[in-house]
Amino acid sequence: MTRTAVYPGTFDPITLGHMDIIRRGAKLVDCLVIGVTTNPSKSPMFSLEERLAMVRREIADIPGDIKVVAFDSLLMDFAEREGASMILRGLRAVADFEYEYQMAGMNQQINAEIETVFLMADVSLQPIASRLVKEIAMYGGDISKFVPPVVAAEVGARVDAIGRKGS
């Protein structure tokens, strides 16, 4: 039986933390489906198409059977459609725990056949969050330690277009 996992997220933008989780996850399963949500409630900096292109480009060199798919439905429906038996989530700190715990618990009740599995990124990458990357960039800070080089350039260009804060 092929073991498939879905790794869902907004990836606005994809960070080195996400990539570390993807690398680890891809080793655990036969097929990893990265699910990129539309998530309009988060008013993303990058459009769905831009985020899909970014993720596809950045994971191209990661070994394993990995595909990148957009979704705009209930996560458990998406996972079922993809034939997944696992939802992969990254866990950072205590702050993530509360939300993830609740979501995993509710998803368990929606579909008990699909397990949520949590992975931890490398210690050095754990504090990275897309939200903070955008905030640092908005204030003209250096984000090259947190995202791949091309993503850093894309965030920089987007911030220039929107207009930096504090300038």
> Does residue 29 interact with ligand ADP by CB under 6 A?
no
CB 12 within 8 A of CB 51: yes
> Does residue 21 interact with ligand ADP by CB under 6 A?
yes
> Does residue 50 interact with ligand ADP by CB under 6 A?
no
Per-residue b/e over 29-56, b at no fewer than 16 CB within 10 Å? bebbbbbbbebeeeebbbebeebbebbe
Question: Residue 107 CB, nearest distance to ligand ADP (Å)?
Answer: 12
Question: Residue 62 CB, nearest distance to ligand ADP (Å)?
Answer: 15
Is 42 an annotated catalytic residue? yes
Cα 94 to the center of its chain, rounded Å:
18
| Sequence-separated (6 or more) residues with CB below 8 Å from residue 1 | none
Give me the catalytic one of 18, 23, 51, 134. 18
> Does residue 125 interact with ligand ADP by CB under 6 A?
yes
CA dist 88 and 66 (Å) reads 13
> Does residue 23 interact with ligand ADP by CB under 6 A?
no
Give me the catalytic one of 27, 42, 81, 164. 42
> Does residue 121 interact with ligand ADP by CB under 6 A?
yes
> Does residue 13 interact with ligand ADP by CB under 6 A?
no
Give the residue ranges of DSSP H helices in the chain: 16-28, 48-59, 75-81, 94-110, 130-138, 149-162
Is 92 an annotated catalytic residue? yes
Mark 69-108 with x for binding to ligand ADP (rule: CB under 6 A) and - for no binding.
Answer: --------------------xx-x---x------------
CA dist 94 and 73 (Å) reads 27
Residue ranges in contact with ligand ADP by CB under 6 A: 8-11, 15, 17-18, 21, 89-90, 92, 96, 121, 125-126, 128-130
